[in-house]
A and B are shown apart, each in its own frame.
Chain A
Amino acid sequence: MSDVYIVGVDMIRFGRFPDRTVPNLAAEAALLALDDAGLTIKDMQALFCGNLGQARGMIGQRMLAEIGQTGIPVTNVANACATGATAFRDGWMSIKAGVYDLVLAVGVEQMGKGLLGGGEGVSTEGVIGSGTMPAMFSHIGMEHTRMYGTTFAQFARVSVKNHWHSTMNPKSMYRKETPLQEVMAAEMIAYPNTKLMCSVNVDGSAAAVLASEKKVKQLGLMDRAVRVRASELSSNPFAERQLAMPDFSAATRLAAKNAYEQAGIGPQDINLVELHDCFATAEIVHYENLGLCADGDAGKLIDSGDTQLGGRVPVNVSGGLLSKGHPLGATGIANIYEVSTHLRGAAGERQVEGARLGLTHVVGGGPGMGSACAIHVLEKV
């Protein structure tokens, strides 16, 4: 089976674009990624398009109507917060299988402000606990507190770090430093997550062009290429409390184990990570789920500074979902853009020096739904 490479990758600056359409946002990222590769839509053999909010809306076909209807096969993908990464992985699999040599993967989302969910109909909210995302991820943080004594300030430090990182990323929604006191004194949404410890609901899109080794050589693109060393996807294996509190750790641990195995490396070999910091509490538990530290040491890891730019293994140097923003279907490919940019040595002020191997992680789901986790390991060529 051929190695698979990223030869073009880009994203739009995340923001709020209520006057644009989802296909139009997707088209912008697609053209940026094609330009990055020096290719056109006429070169693409297939499109894999990830979007959650309009999953029945044929977003891929409508995007092609904006950039060129070449008649290529389109697969529209929806898989919670792993939507974009799943579209990318479907493209990767199609090349691995030898069906195509050059494909386009796009992730896109247009979102409202405020809490996800709610809506019409009789709700159990408040009557039987809460179904909000902040409450769900606060339980996960409190489980870490229960087991290891992790403090409110340690969770809050994740937000301080990621907001600082975003000041160096021109594609981030917010680019503002938030000192610890400000993070902890912000409006409490669901203890211990304050407003500044919740990801930002924004609109956005990101895209990647994937190619087989033969094609990369034929096109002379190896100097721009990033090798995909591992692509893994998992669903939530059975977890003891899954009916009461959705589990994102078991799915992440399973995908991480398989990804390290596929890449033939261990977590100690990774130079930077973009992980799913949908809430500050989530980043802490994923340090352990991804093997960046031993179980129980995540609080110490954030305190040590090892996961900030300049540290042992910088995490979310893009600003993460907390500051760059979290357009659900776009996030998975935006993470891949970030890591690829560092591997290419093109990340400017926030460059992780000497980065050779990077990992991207997204995991999503909801109460009573289960979860989806995608992990990619990318390597400098």
Chain B
Amino acid sequence: MGDVSGGVPPIVPFLHRDGAKPYLGGSRCEACGHVFVGERSVCAKCAARDKMKAVRLAETGKLYVYTVVKRSFPGVAVPFVDAIVDLDDGSHLKGTLEGVEPDPDHIKFNMRVKVAYREAQPVNSGGKPYLTYYFVPA
């Protein structure tokens, strides 16, 4: 964990930087209006071609569903909350939800969350840091 000032690589291709400020890249279909996480040239929903416009994804939203992961792959710290968030621009994003007890009694559907950024050391990275995003209660 750490700040995001360095030039460490993003852990997913749709995570970008504008100067030092990270943001999540997305695409909005100008034919049907669907907002996708990540860049694409064809709409998977309506099949329109050349209608995708690059956008920056919203950084606030609400919790759609979650699970509390108690067993994961070797080397991964558990428990953690694996969340699906509906961002306010209509896109849908998976991520780890921090700042809540990893206990279903303490997590509410539709709770407001926001996107935050940090450096993390994923498993199998040999200690090398990567830029990532996560969710915290808003």
Q: Do A and B bind each other?
A: yes
Q: Which residues of A contact B (CB under 8 A)?
A: 115, 117-118, 120-130, 132, 134-135, 138-139, 142-143, 146, 187-192, 238, 240-245
Could you tell me if A129 and B73 are in contact, using CB atoms closer than 8 angstroms?
no
Could you tell me if A130 and B82 are in contact, using CB atoms closer than 8 angstroms?
yes
A118-B73, A135-B67 given; 5 more Cβ-contact pairs under 8 Å: A115-B73, A122-B122, A124-B122, A126-B78, A188-B71
Q: Report the separation of the CA atoms of residues A125 and B37 in the bound assembly, to the nearest whole angstrom.
A: 18
B133 to chain A, nearest CB (A): 7
Shortest 4 CB-CB contacts between residues of A and residues of B: A138-B67, A129-B82, A118-B73, A130-B82
Would you call B65 an interface residue if the criterion is a C-beta within 8 Å of the partner chain's C-beta atoms? yes
Could you tell me if B66 and A117 are in contact, using CB atoms closer than 8 angstroms?
no
Question: Which of A124, A129, A134, A243 has the most CB atoms of chain B within a 10 A radius of its CB?
Answer: A129
Could you tell me if A132 and B11 are in contact, using CB atoms closer than 8 angstroms?
no
Could you tell me if A117 and B124 are in contact, using CB atoms closer than 8 angstroms?
no
Contacts of B92 in A (CB 8 A): 240-241, 243-245
Q: Report the separation of the CA atoms of residues A60 and B27 in the bound assembly, to the nearest whole angstrom.
A: 43
Could you tell me if A241 and B67 are in contact, using CB atoms closer than 8 angstroms?
no
A190 contact from B69, B76, B93, Cβ within 8 A? B69
Interface string of B33-71 (1 = CB under 8 A from A): 000111000001100000000000000000011111111
Would you call B2 an interface residue if the criterion is a C-beta within 8 Å of the partner chain's C-beta atoms? no
Q: Report the separation of the CA atoms of residues A11 and B46 in the bound assembly, to the nearest whole angstrom.
A: 43
B71 to chain A, nearest CB (A): 5
Question: Which of A121, A127, A241 has the most CB atoms of chain B within a 10 A radius of its CB?
Answer: A127
Would you call B74 an interface residue if the criterion is a C-beta within 8 Å of the partner chain's C-beta atoms? yes
Could you tell me if A129 and B65 are in contact, using CB atoms closer than 8 angstroms?
no
Q: Report the separation of the CA atoms of residues A253 and B36 in the bound assembly, to the nearest whole angstrom.
A: 24
B123 contact from A126, A187, A188, A238, Cβ within 8 A? A126
A290 to chain B, nearest CB (A): 22
Contacts of B94 in A (CB 8 A): 128-129, 244-245
Question: Which of A118, A123, A138, A244 has the most CB atoms of chain B within a 10 A radius of its CB?
Answer: A244
Contacts of A240 in B (CB 8 A): 92
What is the predominant secondary structure among interface residues of chain A facing chain B?
loop
Q: Report the separation of the CA atoms of residues A192 and B68 in the bound assembly, to the nearest whole angstrom.
A: 8
Contacts of B80 in A (CB 8 A): 126, 130
Q: Report the separation of the CA atoms of residues A125 and B73 in the bound assembly, to the nearest whole angstrom.
A: 8
Interface string of B111-138 (1 = CB under 8 A from A): 0000000001011110010101110000
Could you tell me if B11 and A128 are in contact, using CB atoms closer than 8 angstroms?
yes
Could you tell me if B71 and A124 are in contact, using CB atoms closer than 8 angstroms?
no
Would you call B77 an interface residue if the criterion is a C-beta within 8 Å of the partner chain's C-beta atoms? yes
B84 to chain A, nearest CB (A): 5
Q: Report the separation of the CA atoms of residues A122 and B66 in the bound assembly, to the nearest whole angstrom.
A: 23
Could you tell me if A191 and B124 are in contact, using CB atoms closer than 8 angstroms?
no
Could you tell me if A130 and B67 are in contact, using CB atoms closer than 8 angstroms?
yes
A243 contact from B36, B67, B70, B128, Cβ within 8 A? B36
Q: A123-B124, A187-B70 are in contact. Are A129 and B38 (CB under 8 A)?
A: no
B2 to chain A, nearest CB (A): 13
Could you tell me if B74 and A118 are in contact, using CB atoms closer than 8 angstroms?
yes
Q: Report the separation of the CA atoms of residues A115 and B82 in the bound assembly, to the nearest whole angstrom.
A: 16
A182 to chain B, nearest CB (A): 17
- Which residue of chain B is the closest to A281 with respect to CB atoms? B67
Contacts of A188 in B (CB 8 A): 68, 70-71
- Which residue of chain B is the closest to A367 with respect to CB atoms? B94
Contacts of B74 in A (CB 8 A): 118
Interface string of B68-109 (1 = CB under 8 A from A): 111111101110101111000000111110000000100001
Q: Report the separation of the CA atoms of residues A127 and B120 in the bound assembly, to the nearest whole angstrom.
A: 7
A340 to chain B, nearest CB (A): 36
